[in-house]
Amino acid sequence: MKILLLRFSSIGDIVLTTPVVRCLKQQLGAELHYLTKEKFAQVLSANPYLDRIHTFEKSLAQIMPELRREKFDWIIDLHHNLRSARVKWTLRRPSKAFDKLNLEKWLLVRLGINRLPDIHIVDRYMQTVRHLGVRYDGKGLDYFIPGREEVVPGDLDARLKPGRYLVFNIGANHATKRLPPEKIAAVCRNLPMPVVLLGGQAEQETGLQVAMQAGAHVFNYCGKLSLHQSASVVRQAYKVLTHDSGLMHIAAAFRKEIVSIWGNTIPEFGMYPFYPEGQNQNVSMQVEGLKCRPCSKIGYATCPKGHFRCMQEQDVAGICRALK
């Protein structure tokens, strides 16, 4: 059996599809192909369960002839949007798509009516392959780091020892998912061991500002490491403090203890850290009782209400206690 999986973006969403990949390979022995955007292919580059990764940049047109030649038996649509519909329509192969629960999310965001089922998105992904006789194996998420991308913490700084530093992932795609810099610095000042700040190029300036304000025990590596290198630093950390972001899910794939900070989004959307069955090593920090939460299922560049209480009122002392 030859199967094409569709998930175009982004880092965390792709990591959350890895149980489907693993279970299809181990339970069916299927030949597995994965279609994603070129910039996210690195997330899957070392995954041993995938036979081939197909990529595109802006247009799907160039990749379609290649996909037609593969003559897939099934298309498993884990993105479920207009672009994935175009792929299915063009290839004309049997397909199954996961339920995005868009109506339920709209009701919660716009009207404050919660009709969301108490189910993680991984379980909804797994439902797309149930008709093939595939069941979730209870083993959690996967993330594989190429050997050349592994990091020795001491090579970054001699004061960093495996298992004896904290990671603070200060990045997230949208500003309303991120603590203000002064809050990040306040947390870091109160942590009793070395702290490695991780994030992308967009967080470089914030990381520099926080490191200067918080003390010599804070090390800014925002924008300085590749995704795999950042994942390696996360894997070797004592614990991980993180916003709702891709690195949060990578940390869960390594079974790390996580303190996750939630702003405009909420864990009830079903994308909280996902662990193997019987494990729950996440503590979610959020400001309870705000009627404006969630204001979006994704996020904004600025708070729509102007007050940003979901992050401004985060309990710094409570975050530090959760880490200890």
Per-residue pLDDT at 324 exceeds 90:
no
CATH number of 154-323: 3.40.50.2000
The stretch 141-150 carries a mean pLDDT of 97
- The per-residue pLDDT for range 20-50, each reduced to its tens digit, is 999 999 999 999 999 999 999 999 999 999 9
Per-residue pLDDT at 141 exceeds 90:
yes
How high is the mean pLDDT of the chain? 97
Per-residue pLDDT at 6 exceeds 90:
yes
What's the fold here for domain 2-132? Rossmann fold (3.40.50)
Q: What pTM, to 2 d.p., does this model score?
A: 0.96
Q: What is the pLDDT of residue 111?
A: 93
- The per-residue pLDDT for range 303-318, each reduced to its tens digit, is 999 999 999 999 999 9
The share of the chain scoring above pLDDT 70, in percent, equals: 100
Q: How far is CA 281 from CA 14, 154, 207, 218, 244, in A?
A: 21, 26, 26, 24, 15
Domain with CATH 3.40.50.2000 in the chain: 2-132, 154-323
Per-residue pLDDT at 257 exceeds 90:
yes
- SS3 of the chain: helix, strand, coil, percent, to 5: 40, 15, 45
Residue position matching structure tokens 């904290």: 166
- The per-residue pLDDT for range 172-200, each reduced to its tens digit, is 999 999 999 999 999 999 999 999 999 99
